[in-house]
A = this chain, B = another copy of it.
Amino acid sequence: MANEEKFVAEIVDQEDNFSKWYNQVVRKAELADYAPVRGCMIIRPYGYAIWENIQRLLDARFKETDVVNAYFPLLIPRSFLEREAEHIEGFAPEVAWVTRGGGEELEEPLAIRPTSETIIGHTYAKWVQSYRDLPILINQWNNVMRWEKRTTLFLRTSEFLWQEGHTAHRTLEEAEERTRMMLEVYRSFAEEDAAIPVIVGRKSENEKFAGALRTYSIEALMGDGKALQAGTSHNLGNNFAKSFDIQFLDDDGQRKYCATTSWGLSTRMIGGVIMVHGDKSGLILPPRLAPYQVVIVPIWRKDAEKTAVSAMVERVTKMLKGRVRVKVDNSDNTPGWKYNEWEMRGVPVRLEIGPRDVQNESVMLVRRDNRAKESVSLAALETRLPELLEEIQQALFLRAREFRDKSMRYTESYEEFKRIIADERGFVRVKWAEDSAAELAIKEETKATLRVIPFDQPEGGVQGKCFYTGKPATCEAIFARAY
Contact = CB atoms under 8 A, between A and B. Distances in A.
Task: Tell me whether chain A's interface is mostly helix, strand or loop, or mixed.
Answer: mixed
A74 B33 contact: no
A85 interface: no
A329 interface: no
A137 to B, nearest CB: 9
A93 B97 contact: no
Given A35-B73, A73-B159, A101 B95 contact: yes
A41 interface: yes
A76 B38 CA distance: 10
A96 B100 contact: yes
Contacts of A48: 68-71
Given A99-B99, A119-B36, A71 B94 contact: no
Contact of A71 (B43, B97, B102): B43
A179 to B, nearest CB: 21
A49 B68 contact: yes
Nearest to A149: B102
Interface string A23-47: 0000000000101110011111101
A99 B97 contact: yes
Contacts of A71: 42-43, 48, 51, 161
A98 to B, nearest CB: 5
B49 A69 contact: yes
14 contacts: A35-B119, A36-B80, A36-B122, A37-B73, A74-B74, A74-B143, A92-B103, A93-B103, A95-B102, A96-B98, A96-B101, A98-B99, A100-B109, A101-B158
Contacts of A69: 45, 48-49, 52
Given A35-B72, A74-B112, 20 more contacts: A35-B119, A35-B123, A36-B119, A36-B123, A42-B123, A43-B70, A43-B71, A44-B70, A45-B68, A48-B68, A48-B71, A49-B69, A73-B159, A74-B74, A75-B96, A99-B100, A100-B109, A101-B158, A103-B147, A112-B112
Contacts of A43: 70-71
A143 B142 contact: yes
Contacts of A75: 37, 40, 96, 145, 159
Interface string A452-477: 00000000000000000000000000
Contacts of A73: 35, 37, 40-42, 159
B112 A102 contact: no
Contacts of A94: 102
A183 interface: no
Contacts of A142: 143
Nearest to A46: B68
A45 B109 CA distance: 28
Contacts of A45: 68-70, 138
Interface string A108-139: 01101000000100110010000000000010
Contacts of A386: none
Interface string A267-305: 000000000000000000000000000000000000000
Interface string A73-87: 111110010000000
A413 B142 CA distance: 51
A460 to B, nearest CB: 44
Contacts of A92: 103
Contact of A143 (B96, B143, B147): B143
Contact of A145 (B33, B74, B122): B74
Contacts of A112: 74, 98, 112
A40 B72 CA distance: 9
A121 to B, nearest CB: 11
